[in-house]
Each structure stands twice: as C-alpha cells, then as structure tokens.
Structure 1
Amino acid sequence: MQILIAHSHLNPGGVTRIIESQIDSLKNIPVKVLVGTCPNPETITSRGAELVIMEELNYLEHKTYSDDEAKEMLDTVLEKLRQQITKDTVIHFHNLNLGKNPIVTFAVYLLAKEGVRVFNHAHDFAEDRPSNQTFLEEIISDIFSHNLSEVLYPDLPNYQFGVLNSFDLERLLSYGVEADRIEWLPNPVTFSCTIVNPDKEASKKTICEELKISDEKLLITYPVRVIQRKNIGEFILLSVLFDHITNFVVTQPPQNPVEREMYRQWVKFCEDHEIDVVFEAGNKVDFERLLCASDFCITTSYREGFGMVYLEPWLLNTPVVGRDIDYITKDFKDDGFTFPTLFYKINIPEIKIDFKDLNMKMQMEIICDLKSGRIEKQKMFEQNPILTTLFNKVADQVIEQNKEIIKSNYSLQGYGSKLQNRYKKLVG
C-alpha cells in the first residue's frame, strides 16, 4: 500500500500542519506528497516522505473557461495524476471539494470511477462559500455536463471521506453518504512544546521587550493568519474596549491576494486611529514563545473547519477565550473541555445586530465611536455582560484538566491508528 497525500499547496497553515502530522503518524507506510506548490520542501522530505510538485493542483483562477480550455486542463491533470498512481495507491486528498480547482475535483472523480481508491479529507465545504460553489457548477455542470452532487459525493465503495467534527459527519450523512464510508477524524494536537516548564512571567517580559509593548498589561494573542472569516474587526473592537488593561497581538498576515486588501485597510485603520494592535507578531518573535508568554489566546473567528485555536494554546498553559462556534466547540465540550469565557455575539448599543454581521465600513465607524467616546465603554459592557469576565484569571486546575483531555483524545498515535484502519478498509 502506498499513500499519496495531495493538496493544492503547502503554505504555512492548518492543512499543511495536518499533512505533516499525517506523515509523522504513518511511520511504516510509504508516503508520497503531491502538491501544487511548497515553499519549504524540507518540512516534508525531512519526515521521510517523497515530495512531488504538480503545478496543476494549485488554485485555479476564477474566470470563465472555454470548453476546449477546460478539457485540455482535465487531460493534463489526469495524465499527471496517473503517473503517480500504482495499483495499491490510496489518494488521500485534502479539501478536494472546496471548489478552489474544479478541474482537479472532476479528475479525481473520474479516476475513482475507474477504481482508484480515494480518501477525501474535508476540512471545509464549498457549500459554505457561494462563489466556490458557483465555480464548481460552471465547470463540472456547465462544461462537463455532470451532476455536481454526484461528482462531489459519489456513491462508490472506493471513495471515502474524512471529517473533522460531528457537525460535518451529520452533513455528509444528509448528503447521502453512507456512514461506513465516513471517518470522524479530529485533528491531532501535536504542539512540540520545546519550552520545558515554561515560566510565563519571564517569557512575557522578554516577548514584550521584543515587541516594544508594556509587560504591565495582559498579553492577548490571536494565533491566526488574518483572513475574512477570522473576523479581525471584532478583534480590533475588543482591543479598544480593553486597551486600558491589555495588549492585543495577531500573528500572521494573509497570503491569499484576495484577502490582502482587506488586511491592508485594517492595518491602516489602526495606524490612522492610534489603535495599538501589534500585527504580524509571528514574524517578529518565535510563535511558541509568544503563545507561552501570552496571558490569553483569543479567537473572534466565525467559521472554522476544526478549531485548533481552541485547543493548542492550553498545552503552553495559556487559556483560550473569545467567540463560540457551536458546531466546533460542541465536540470539545462533550470531551469534558472547560472554556472560561466564550461569547456568541457582540451587541452594539442602539444597533440590533451582531457586530460580526456588519460590513467593514460600519465596523470601522463603530470602533471610531468607541475610541472617541461617542459609544461609552460602560454601555458596551452593559449590552454584553459576559465580556466583563473575558479576562478573569483561570484556575490552574482547569488548565491542567484541559491539557490532559488533549493528550488523551487528540494524540498523534491514536490519529495514525484511525488513518491506517481507514486505508485498510479502502484497500480491502
């Protein structure tokens, strides 16, 4: 059995880290990694996996393609994929159905129809992203005249799925995928924790010096790459609301060109209005040391595939607070996790709508009003009483309990066993 792990790219981020974990968990199985681009090949080759670059797996430009263009691209993708496949290969494809490259989605479906074994590892879904869904329809339905649902969720024993949470498991069942073709595969939490017995106070002092911020305030870190769904406006709102007691930092800028203009506007907004958020902190200090030094990690994201941000920081004794995403945190809470303060919405005085649902211009106007005093902070707390507890001290017992749950339920060893058992089901 050979495992061919495939994805559009290996840029820094969640899927890349999961692919690295998968290689680490499959020590006794030959693994080949097939991607469109990989900025740091050593992260794969140093783990003993073979790396193959196939540019056709990259995100496809979202434009109108002629029938001839689409068919030519399809022929190329099929030819190059077949060169990597042997009779005992399992293709483990990440986010195949997301709609970033409909040609590849259709090609893998055609290979599955020929009998190639496919494990479709779904982190995110095109159904949640209308433009992606439209792109799939334009190519798969309009050009290739195939039923989109059949291509995305084929009824084939050699085509199986992995999902990150119970919500997506139920989603696939509702799409007609049989339960025995779905593996519930929560991501492993594999933070290396190279800092032994971290001294938070000393770490914080050093990090704050490097970031040129006061260590007298709470250090609040959003360990994320800033993209639209991470809801950075709400993060900035909270930084203003708590600026008397906190420093807010966020770790990475977006890489997707589509997201960069949004990010640039928020950075400029903070500069223009003297809002002291530290952007790109992950490029200025070591990521692990930053998480270790933080008093809290925070998330304002409104959509996640797995929600690693809710788990990972606890391993460095850093509690996680912020916006609750029910379909994500339900599984963690069912495991016994305790979250100190999570909120479902932020109400703005005189406005009967969740802050996250406002457009960027309106969010900026409200933040300006809060900054200037036209919206009183006290009224914000009256409208959102849960925020008064957001940065309350978290008991050591809660931290230790959550760490133990992570180690028991999200281990790399258990993850690897699940993967290998699923592959064996596919191979027969």
Structure 2
Amino acid sequence: MPVVIAHSHLNPGGVTRIIESQIDSLANEEVKVLVGACPNPEIITSRNAELHVFSDLNYLERKKYTEQEAKDMLHKVHREIREHLTSETVLHFHNLNLGKNPIVTYAVYLLAKEGVKVFNHAHDFAEDRPSNYSFLEEIIHDIFLQDVNQILYPKLSNYHYGVLNSFDFERLKELGEEEERIEWLPNPVTFNASENIPDKAAAKQEICAQLQLNQEKLLVSYPVRVIQRKNIGEFILLSILFRHRANFAVTQPPQNPVEIEMYKQWTNFCEQNDVDIVFEAGTKVNFEKLLRGSDFCITTSYKEGFGMVYLEPWLLDTPVVGRDIDFITRDFKNDGFVFPTLYYKLHIPGIKTDFKDLNLKMQMEIIQGVLSGKIEKQKLFEQNPILNTLFSDVKSHIIDKNKTIIKNNYSLKGYGIKLQERYKKMVG
C-alpha cells in the first residue's frame, strides 16, 4: 500500500531516526517522504524512498497573521500534501499535535475530513508546552474559528494515532479517543555496534587521548542535543560534585535558534568558572566509540517523548544513570529492565524546589555557591543520598539482561510488523 511519511524537518535527532527506521521496516511498501527541510537528502533517497521538500511544512514563524495570510498558507499546504495522496494512501504524520505549525495541523484535519487515512504519530503534545498551545489557539481558534481540541483529536474512523508509551496511550483514552484507533508503538532500538569497534578499555583510551582527558577518571557522557528540557544546568552541577572522580562530556549543541542563547550562556558560564566539561564531544570524536568508551551515560532530562537515552547505551555495554522520568521508564521496568541508579529529585540545601524547576539564573547561582564553598558538597550528598551510589559499579549480568530485553522487545522487525498491521486496519 502507498505510505506518505511527513514531518516538519529531517534535522538530526530522534524523530528523523525514527523516520529512517520506519522506511527500513517498510522495505516492501511504496514510501514517499514529505518534509519542510532536509539537510541530508541521502538518508531518505539511499533507502529507495521518494523525497519531497516543501518549506511550508516546517515550523511556522511565531508572529501575528492576517486572516488572508492564514487562508493562503492553508490552501497551499493542503494542495501540496493532497497531490501526493491516492484513495489508498496512508498519511503518516509525525508530531502533528506539537503546535509548531498550526496551519499544517489544520490542513491535515481537513484532509481527514475529506476521507484521507491519517496516522498521527504523537511524539510530543502541545498541551505540555503552553506557548505552543497558545499558538494553536491564535491560528485555529482566533482566525479559523475552530475548536482546537476538535482539530487535534477528531472523532473520525479514518484518523488513528501512534503513541510511544503507556502514559500517552492513557492520555488519549482520557481525551475520549477510541482504544482501537490508538497504536502503542514504542520506538525501535536500531543501534548496532560496528564489528570493528574496540572493547570498552581500548575505546576509552582512544577517546580520552583525543579529548585530552585523564584516563584514570570515570568517563561520563550525556548523549544528547542540548535543549532546555535536557536540563544541562543539572548536568553541570553533577560534574562539579564529581569532578575529582569523573570527566563529563555532552555530545551536541542545539540547532533551534531559540535554544542557542541558553546554550551560549551555559558554555560561557563554564568557561568563566573553570568548569571542565567537554561540550560538543559528538563533533570531536566518533559517537559510537564515545558511548562504548564511557563508563556511564547520564541523563538529567526532565521531559522525554520515548526516552531512547535510557536504552541505547546498554547495547554498547554502558550503564545509564541519572534522573528518572517515571511515566517513561515504567514501561521499560515493566519489561524487566534494571536501572542501577536513577533519582526523581535533586534537593538543594535551604531551597524547597527541585533543582530542575529553578530558572537558569538561580541554577547558576547555586552552582557558583558550590564552587565557592558557600554551599557545602557534603550537605548536598546528605540531602541526596542517591548521589553516594550514582556511579557504583554495575554487574555484567545486569548489562546482559538489559541488552537481551532491548533485542527482544524493541527490534526493527517487530516494529515494522506492528506498523503494517495498523496500516492494514486503516485501509480495510
């Protein structure tokens, strides 16, 4: 059956990797990909899928639009998508409900009303991002006079959903969506270690030499693009608390201009305060070798759609520690996953608020307090006893168990079967 996979962009990141995996899992289907931007077209064309780039599908500039401007954009987007659809096509749209482009969200709703089979693959939700939801209201409600919730969650038999976890599955049911139109579709874990990748000790030796790090210390990496919800301030705080024991590295800078200013403030802060973190390590050394050579991968993120960071490093024999996001990790734990050291909160002496909920200025003040000795490290460890075991040795049988669960429960083959079965339900 013909499948059109659509998204706002194919910049490096989680959704792009899932789209690549979907194309791979649909090798016997006719697949087109429609996106607003694609810096590396070969990732699609090399997989024998058609690629079409329309800038109108990308994030919409946040500004006030006239009624005529909005209508013109709507007609254009509707037409651009429509010309790639037949009566049998499944339109598989990623992050339609994120609210980054309300025109696209409304256009796809109108297509669904016309009978197009829409699979809304929800990685994130505008309800979790107030500014995105208000943008939807400005366009959909204020200009087109439509109810936002009706557009986001139409009660149509040809409109189905894909969700990444049980939390979002329950969320849609609570919003009144029928269970039979929702597919729980955990992301496939497709990270296959290269055959020639060195063992952990050799990989660490190479990485430390390249990055000029003390090999006697632990190597702790955060395999992430630094954006707000990744909570980089907490990562920096932990690097200071463990600077005598570990080197800390984070892999990628942000690409979104909105996030770049925050990132610059943190990198400048580290430079001014002699905080030795390796930023953009993924651009300086081989990413796979970095993860293999790391003694631990850490996450301080407070919001994830799926939580790939909790899974992938284990395939390279690297344990994952850090902040727990219960509605994400509960699915992994239900599969039998063992996480050695995860924490829910980071308490700061004299402050009632979790560190992650403090603004950038307050986080910087606390880190400076720790550096100056105004905030005693000992008290931080006393109030957060989990920190005493954060980087404890992880037994090899735990690593092996987690690797087996990933291979059995998150395979690309199983993912493709679920996806095709859902499409068949939609086509009838």
The question of a shared fold, defined as TM-score above 0.5 by the shorter chain, is answered with yes
Question: What is the CA–CA distance in structure 2 between the aligned matches of 1:424 and 1:140, rounded to whole Å?
Answer: 31
Which residue identity does 1:191 align to in structure 2? F
Cα distance, 1:372 vs. partner? Answer: 1.5
SS at match of 1:303: coil
1:403 counterpart residue number: 403
Query: Aligned equivalents of 2:53 and 2:369: distance in 1?
Result: 50
SS at match of 1:120: strand
Q: Following the alignment from structure 2 to structure 1, what is the Cα–Cα distance between the partners of residues 79 and 199?
A: 55
Report if aligned partners of 2:197, 2:289 keep a CA contact under 8 Å in 1. Answer: no
- The residue correspondences of 1:170-249 to structure 2 (distance < 5 A) are 170-196=170-196, 198-249=198-249
* CA shift digits 1:95-136 (9 cap, x unpaired): 001000000000000000000000000000000000000000
In structure 2, what is the equivalent of residue 263 of structure 1? 263
Match of 1:344 in 2: 344
Q: Post-superposition shift, 1:268?
A: 0.2
Instruction: Tell me by how many angstroms 1:289 deviates.
Output: 0.6
SS at match of 2:187: coil
Secondary structure in 1 matching 2:8: strand
**Residues 271-293 of structure 1 deviation map (CA, whole Å, 9 limit, x = unaligned):** 00000000000000111010000
The answer as to whether partners of 1:198 and 1:316 remain within 8 angstroms in 2 is no
Distance in 2 between the 1:362 and 1:145 partners?
Answer: 41
Give the C-alpha shift of residue 198 in structure 1: 4.0
Return the offset for 1:375.
Answer: 1.2
Q: Which runs of structure 2 are paired with 1:68-217 in the superposition (5 Å)? A: 68-196=68-196, 198-217=198-217
Give the Cα separation in 1 of the matches to 2:202 and 2:38. 36
SS in 1 for 2:214: coil
1:365 maps to what in 2? 365
2:145 is paired with a residue of what secondary structure?
Answer: coil
Residue matched to 1:5: 5
**What residue in structure 1 maps to residue 276 of structure 2?**
276
Contact 2:251 2:280 (8 Å CA) reproduced: yes
Aligned equivalents of 1:354, 1:80: Cα separation in 2: 46
Is 1:253 the counterpart of 2:253? The answer is yes
What SS class does the counterpart of residue 337 from structure 2 fall into? coil
- How many angstroms apart in 2 are the aligned matches of 1:214 and 1:157? 59
TM-score normalised over the length of structure 1: 0.99
Shift of 1:427: 0.4
**Amino acid paired to 1:47:** R
- AA paired with 1:317? D
Q: Distance in 2 between matches of 1:183 and 1:374?
A: 51
In structure 2, what residue type is equivalent to 1:279?
F
Task: State the alpha-carbon separation in 2 of the partners of residues 304 and 195 from structure 1.
Answer: 30
Secondary structure of 1:318's counterpart equals coil
| 2-structure distance, mates of 1:112, 1:351 | 50
In structure 1, the residue matched to 2:415 is 415
Separation (CA, whole Å) in 2 of partners of 1:2 and 1:29: 6
Q: Which residue of 1 aligns with 2:390?
A: 390
Match of 2:63 in 1: 63
Matched, 1:17 2:17: yes
Secondary structure of 1:9 counterpart: coil
Q: Given that residues 162 and 185 in structure 1 are in contact (C-alpha distance below 8 angstroms), is that contact kept between their aligned partners in structure 2?
A: yes
Q: How many residues align?
A: 428
Residue identity matched to 1:367: I
Matched-pair contact (CA < 8 Å) for 2:105–2:152: yes
> How far apart in 2 are the matches of 1:328 and 1:401?
19
* Structure 2: 5+ residue stretches without partners: none
Q: Deviations over 1:73-94 (max 9, x none)?
A: 0011111111111121110000
Indicate whether 1:315 and 2:290 are aligned: no
The one-letter code of the counterpart of 1:263 is Y
What amino acid sits opposite 2:83 in the alignment?
Q
Moved over 3 A (4+): 195-198
In 2, the alpha carbon distance for the partners of 1:190 and 1:250 equals: 21
Aligned to 1:51: 51
Letter in 2 for 1:229: R
CA shift at 1:48, angstroms? 1.1
Q: How far apart are residue 192 of structure 1 and its match?
A: 2.1
Checking the alignment, whether the CA contact within 8 Å between 1:116 and 1:158 is kept in structure 2 is yes
The residue type paired with residue 357 of structure 1 is: D
- For the 8 Å contact 1:124–1:305, the answer to whether it is kept is yes
Structure 1: how far apart are the matches of 2:29 and 2:307?
28
Q: CA deviation at 1:195?
A: 4.1
Partner AA of 1:15 in structure 2: V
Matched, 1:39 2:20: no
Percent of matched pairs sharing the same residue: 71
Deviates more, 1:220-229 or 1:351-360: 351-360
Q: Is the 8 A contact 2:21 2:412 kept in 1?
A: yes
Instruction: Give SS of 1:353's match.
Output: coil
Structure-2 separation of matches of 1:168 and 1:224: 23
Q: Note the C-alpha offset of 1:18.
A: 0.2
CA shift, 1:197, in A, is 6.9
Note the alpha carbon deviations across 1:9-52, whole angstroms, 9 max, x for none: 00000000000000010111011110000000111111111111
CA distance in 2: counterparts of 1:364 and 1:268, whole angstroms? 11
Distance 2:272 2:258 in 1: 23
TM-score scaled to structure 2, two decimals?
0.99
Task: Provide the C-alpha distance between the structure 2 equivalents of 1:112 and 1:199, rounded to a whole number of angstroms.
Answer: 51
**Partner SS state of residue 192, structure 1:** coil
User: Partner of 2:309: helix, strand, or coil?
Assistant: helix
Return the alpha-carbon distance in structure 2 between the equivalents of residues 212 and 12 of structure 1: 27
Deviations 1:249-273 (A, max 9, x none): 0000000000000000000000000
CA contact 2:37–2:58 (8 Å) conserved in 1: yes
SS of the aligned residue for 1:248 comes to strand
C-alpha RMSD of the superposition? 0.7
